[in-house]
Amino acid sequence: MPASALVVREKKNYVALVGSDNHIKLTPIEIAGTDGRSIRILGGLNEGSRVALSLANTIPDGAKVNPATPPGAPVPATAAPPRRNRSRPPVRSSADADYNACVPSDHCSAIAGRFQSCGESMSNYRGIHDMGGLSAGPVEATEHDYAIWEKRVDALLVLLSKKGHITVDELRRNIESLGVDAYEKMSYYERWIYAITQTLIQRGVISVDELGRKMAEAEQTDGHQ
Amino acid sequence: MVTSDAVPARFSPGDRVAVRVAYPIGHVRTPYYIRGKQGVVERLCGTYGNPEELAYARSGLPRQPLYRVRFRQDEVWPAYSGNRDDTVDIEIFQHWLEPA
């Protein structure tokens, strides 16, 4: 199935099956593997099932969606249920649909981002990170103390930038290239260290082999740390 | 600071501009939701290396003028229910702007 069909709620994986009445039903799935574009799943989904794509986090189980027409016909789906939240733009344009559904699920193409329609076209590519205006629910303000490893990641970026081994633009590009699942699940500094490492490999500062060996070595020395 | 490795500024404060409608993959700093919308240049912020190039470890030269562009919220979000005079300022590189 396309990666954008993955719905992550409280660290569990689901797809939103769209019933004949256009109500969604969150159905647990088990992921066998992914190449970033598509996800191989172990059961939970029958061939030809209709699934919602790029479902916003705020859309509850059982909500009604307006499916887009089948692949190739870019028809705007309906906007999210009206929200009243003064801290953010309350309603999005109808062309900016949160979710699309299409039949059958294996006809949809999606890379790590959101497409407006289910077609094979990349004409409306929207990066996973580019979420301005999408529904995200209420903002939860919580206190957060940085862990020592998070501070180290931050310092590492400063040092590498000063030495000319990375630009913030490369950092951002590599974060944006994360698969949908990883992007949603990783914490802020996990994304950073992933992107820093990618950049250093891309630039030839470190090699994959070197990294693998060093990680194994650290695993040995530090045990569970 | 505008030097010879920078593209000359094409717009001045007060100019009405439209954000290009394009959806390339790659590293793009122009938010999705603002593409195709019209606003007014509030100021020229300066010239900066092009992030679309810097993201791939290239030079980012010539530097591109960066503008702060002001948009009316009720034009950005058709169902906007806040104050009619609310605006949003977005910093956008020159190559994403056209005269409107």
Radius of gyration of chain A (CA): 20
Q: Closest approach of chain A CAs to the CA of B54, in angstroms?
A: 6
- Is pLDDT of B13 > 60? yes
Please report the pLDDT score of residue A58 as a whole number.
Answer: 67
What is the interface size between A and B, counted as CB pairs within 8 Å? 71
Please report whether residue B1 resides in a domain: no
Q: Give chain B positions within 8 Å (CB) of A86.
A: 82
Residue A7 has pLDDT above 90, yes or no: no
Decide which of A176 and A56 is more confident. A176
What count of other Cβ atoms lies within 10 Å of the Cβ of residue A201? 15
- Tell me: pLDDT of A70 over 80: no
For residue B16, list its beta bridge partners. Answer: B40
Each residue's pLDDT tens digit, A107-154: 333 334 454 444 435 678 899 999 998 888 888 888 889 999 999 999
Q: Are strands B64-72 and A113-114 parallel, antiparallel or unpaired?
A: unpaired
What number is the average pLDDT over the span B31-40? 97
Residue A82 pLDDT level (bands cut at 50, 70, 90): very low
Band of pLDDT at residue A87, cut at 50, 70 and 90: very low
At a CB cut-off of 8 Å and minimum separation 6, what does A187 contact? none
Q: How do beta strands B16-19 and A126-127 pair?
A: unpaired
pLDDT of residue A59: 75
- Flag whether pLDDT at A195 surpasses 90: yes
The distance between the two most distant Cα atoms of chain B, rounded to a whole number of Å, is 46
Asked, for residue B2, whether it belongs to a domain, the answer is no
The mean pLDDT of A180-206, rounded to a whole number, is 96
Regarding beta strands A126-127 and A113-114, do their DSSP bridges make them parallel or antiparallel, or are they unpaired? antiparallel
Residue pLDDT, tens place only, A26-45 = 888 877 766 555 677 776 67
According to the model, what pLDDT value does residue A8 have? 77
DSSP-derived 3-state class of residue A98: coil
| pLDDT range class, residue A67, cuts 50, 70, 90 | low
Please give the domain boundaries of chain A with CATH numbers for all domains: 1-136 (no CATH), 148-222 (1.10.472.20)
Q: Side chain identity at B77, as an amino acid letter?
A: W
Q: What is the pLDDT of residues B41-94, one digit of tens each?
A: 999 999 999 999 999 999 999 999 999 999 999 999 988 999 999 999 999 999
Tell me, yes or no, whether B76 lies in a domain. yes
Our CA dihedral for A34, A40, A44, A48, rounded to 10 degrees, sits at 120
Name the domain count of chain B: 1
Q: Is B51 on the interface with A (CB under 8 A)?
A: yes
pLDDT at A4: 74
Place of tokens 């986090």: A57
Looking at residue A110, what is its pLDDT? 38
Tell me, yes or no, if B21 comes closer than 8 A to chain A by beta carbon.
Answer: no
Complex ipTM, two decimals? 0.90
Residue B55's SS3 state is coil
Q: What is the pLDDT of residue B3?
A: 52
Across the interface, whether the CB atoms of A123 and B23 are under 8 A apart is answered yes
pLDDT of A144 reads: 84
Whether the predicted pLDDT of A73 surpasses 70: no
Q: Report the CATH number that the domain containing residue B39 is assigned in CATH.
A: 2.30.30.50
| Pairwise CB contact (< 8 Å): B81 & A91 | yes
pLDDT value at residue A196: 98
Domain span holding position B60: 16-99
Distance CA B74, CA A173 (A): 31
Checking if the pLDDT of A75 tops 70, the result is no
Higher pLDDT, A199 or A22: A199
